[in-house]
């Protein structure tokens, strides 16, 4: 699918068409121009020929149905991954901002893959559109199954379930790539996802995760203060952080924490620090104490995430994670453990690995 081509065609059409087509794509979730019965036939035919709505993708489902990963094929043949996570009646989409990533963190499957290119705005929003369509189809099949069992289509319980199952609730930029190295396209994509005439996902339901690009944190506090920010820390000191994340040489912890403090002072928003727990690397009680000293701020939170092994490193044991968390909490730092998704499809956020040769 190519949004730029659609925009080009719309440039010669009356203005109201942009809004009309926006609704058809994002609200009605049409996946073929033939379904756009409100458009003139000639325009429909032109759109069908020049910019088909199909999104080419292969879906891998987790056994428990709680998550699924899609490998989308872009127009130039490269592939990008996006994940759907279903938890407590909410659908969260993890999106990629780049094909691969130039930052090469040692624990990260995307980092090992190297960098191909930034995603265009439309290639970012397309990932959310893909799952919106998928959820709609899923919901229809749920209806059909219920109907077969003789449950009325208009039963209140079913209508409620429909609302819960059928749409995207949250979007997190935690897929492949570093969002702040593709700032402008990510910013544009968020505006589209946010637009009430289109998908209408509220700002507070959108999160960006960064490896600690200071300029990006600063710009974000100006441009999109309502969007949630997460910073990947993973180490309580520069020595270890530089070993794990080469970008830490450019942005030492002092600079990242200063930017984080400025961010919360300016926006008055909570700020999440991600900390993946890697066995015998960053999970000792001393390191917990060091981290606690670094993160003393009422608006700072720590999210402890069990590492999903993608190479030589192993995940900390649950008891070790609990111990680490208790030390942080006792020191007055708010900490929680993140629910783990998508392990058998290698599709949890930040753990996207594609064996596909085009990636
Ligand atoms: N580049 C951004 C966003 C994408 S990665 C960033 O680094 O923040 C999203 C999150 O997943 C990051 O916190 C990243 O460190 C984490 N992550 C990467 N590989 C992981 C793995 N194998 N297990 C658990 N978390 C991982
Ligand atoms: Fe890039 Fe984030 Fe992976 Fe580091 S963790 S290599 S910044 S995607």
Is the predicted pLDDT of residue 303 greater than 70, yes or no? yes
Position 358 scores a pLDDT of: 44
Residues 148 and 140: beta-carbon distance below 8 Å: no
- Shortest CA distance to 110 belongs to which of 211, 224, 241, 259? 211
Within the chain, where are the H helices? 3-10, 16-26, 41-50, 109-113, 121-148, 156-165, 183-194, 214-223, 238-244, 253-267, 285-294, 318-330
Is residue 83 within a helix (H) or strand (E), and if so which, with residue range? strand 79-87
Q: How confident is the model at residue 341 (pLDDT cuts 50, 70, 90)?
A: low
Asked if residue 208 has its Cβ within 6 Å of ligand 1, the reply is no
Distance from residue 104's CA to the centre of ligand 1 (Å)? 11
Distance from residue 98's CA to the centre of ligand 1 (Å)? 13
Position 359 scores a pLDDT of: 43
How many Å apart are CA 273 and CA 210, to the nearest integer? 10
CATH of domain 57-355: 3.20.20.70
Asked if residue 83 has its Cβ within 6 Å of ligand 2, the reply is no
Average pLDDT on 123-127 reads 97
Q: Which atom of ligand 1 is nearest to the CA of 173?
A: 3
Which residue among 98, 105, 217 has the greatest number of ligand 2 atoms within 8 angstroms of its CB, and so is best to mutate?
A: 105
Of the two residues 150 and 332, the one the predictor is more confident about is 332
- Shortest CA distance to 178 belongs to which of 251, 238, 126, 243? 251
How many Å apart are CA 103 and CA 25, to the nearest integer? 34
Average pLDDT on 233-240 reads 98
Q: Which atom of ligand 1 is nearest to the CA of 212?
A: 8
Of the two residues 189 and 63, the one the predictor is more confident about is 189
Position 112 scores a pLDDT of: 87
Per residue in 20-46, pLDDT tens?
999 999 999 999 999 999 999 999 999
Which residue among 97, 98, 102, 111 has the greatest number of ligand 2 atoms within 8 angstroms of its CB, and so is best to mutate?
A: 111
Average pLDDT on 315-328 reads 96
Per residue in 260-276, pLDDT tens?
999 999 999 999 999 99
Q: How confident is the model at residue 250 (pLDDT cuts 50, 70, 90)?
A: very high
Is the predicted pLDDT of residue 163 greater than 50, yes or no? no
Position 113 scores a pLDDT of: 86
Report the predicted TM-score, pTM, of the whole model to 2 decimal places. 0.91
Q: What angle do CA 177, 180, 182 make, to 5 degrees?
A: 70
Per residue in 183-229, pLDDT tens?
999 999 999 999 998 999 999 999 999 999 999 999 999 999 999 99
How many Å apart are CA 357 and CA 359, to the nearest integer? 6
How many Å apart are CA 168 and CA 52, to the nearest integer? 23
Asked if residue 305 has its Cβ within 6 Å of ligand 1, the reply is yes
How many Å apart are CA 118 and CA 99, to the nearest integer? 6
Q: How confident is the model at residue 66 (pLDDT cuts 50, 70, 90)?
A: confident
Asked if residue 209 has its Cβ within 6 Å of ligand 1, the reply is yes
How many Å apart are CA 5 and CA 126, to the nearest integer? 14
Q: What angle do CA 191, 197, 199 make, to 5 degrees?
A: 65
Of the two residues 162 and 189, the one the predictor is more confident about is 189
List Cβ<8 Å contacts ≥24 apart for 238-247. Answer: 240/281, 240/282, 240/287, 243/106, 244/105, 244/106, 244/107, 244/281, 244/282, 245/103, 245/105, 245/106, 245/211, 245/212, 246/103, 246/104, 246/105, 247/103, 247/105, 247/211, 247/212, 247/213
Asked if residue 81 has its Cβ within 6 Å of ligand 2, the reply is no
Is the predicted pLDDT of residue 350 greater than 60, yes or no? no
Asked if residue 209 has its Cβ within 6 Å of ligand 2, the reply is no
For atom 13 of ligand 1, the residue with the nearest CA is: 232
Residues 173 and 209: beta-carbon distance below 8 Å: yes
Catalytic sites, residue numbers: 81, 349
Asked if residue 310 has its Cβ within 6 Å of ligand 1, the reply is yes
Position 55 scores a pLDDT of: 96
The domain locations on the chain are 3-50, 57-355
| Residues facing 233 on adjacent strands | none
DSSP, res 161: H
Phi/psi at 255 (nearest 5 deg)?
-70, -40
Q: What's the mean pLDDT when you consider all of the chain?
A: 89
Is residue 57 within a helix (H) or strand (E), and if so which, with residue range? strand 57-61
How many Å apart are CA 99 and CA 111, to the nearest integer? 10
């Amino acid at each position: 699918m190519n949004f730029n081509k659609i925009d080009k065609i719309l440039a010669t059409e009356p203005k109201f068409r942009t809004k009309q087509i926006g609704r058809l794509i994002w609200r009605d979730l049409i996946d073929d121009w033939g379904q756009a019965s409100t458009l003139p036939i000639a325009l429909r035919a032109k759109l069908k020929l020049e910019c088909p709505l199909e999104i080419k993708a292969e879906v891998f489902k987790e056994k428990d149905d709680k998550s699924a990963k899609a490998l989308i094929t872009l127009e130039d043949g490269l592939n990008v991954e996006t994940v759907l996570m279903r938890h407590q009646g909410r659908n969260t989409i993890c999106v990629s901002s780049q094909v691969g990533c130039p930052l090469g963190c040692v624990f990260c499957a995307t980092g090992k893959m190297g960098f191909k290119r930034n995603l265009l705005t439309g290639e970012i929003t397309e990932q959310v559109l893909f799952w919106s369509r998928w959820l709609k189809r899923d919901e229809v099949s749920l209806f059909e199954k219920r109907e077969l069992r003789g449950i009325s289509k208009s039963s209140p319980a079913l209508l409620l379930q429909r609302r819960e199952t059928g749409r995207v609730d949250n979007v997190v930029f935690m897929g492949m790539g570093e969002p702040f190295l593709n700032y402008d396209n990510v910013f544009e994509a968020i505006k589209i996802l946010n637009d009430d005439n289109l998908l209408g996902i509220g700002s507070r339901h959108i999160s960006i995760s960064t490896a600690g690009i200071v300029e990006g944190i600063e710009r974000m506090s100006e441009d999109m203060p309502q969007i949630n920010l997460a910073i990947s820390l993973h180490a309580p000191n520069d020595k270890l952080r530089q070993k794990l994340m080469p970008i830490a040489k450019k942005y030492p912890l002092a600079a990242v924490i200063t930017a984080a403090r400025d961010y919360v002072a300016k926006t008055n928003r909570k700020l999440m620090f991600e900390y993946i727990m890697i066995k015998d690397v960053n999970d000792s009680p001393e390191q917990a104490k060091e981290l606690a000293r670094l993160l003393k701020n009422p608006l700072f939170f720590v999210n402890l995430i069990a590492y999903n092994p993608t190479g030589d490193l192993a995940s900390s044991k649950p008891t070790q994670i609990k111990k680490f968390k208790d030390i942080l909490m006792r020191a007055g730092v708010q900490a929680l453990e993140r629910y783990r998704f998508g392990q058998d499809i290698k599709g949890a956020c930040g753990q996207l690995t594609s064996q596909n040769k085009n990636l």
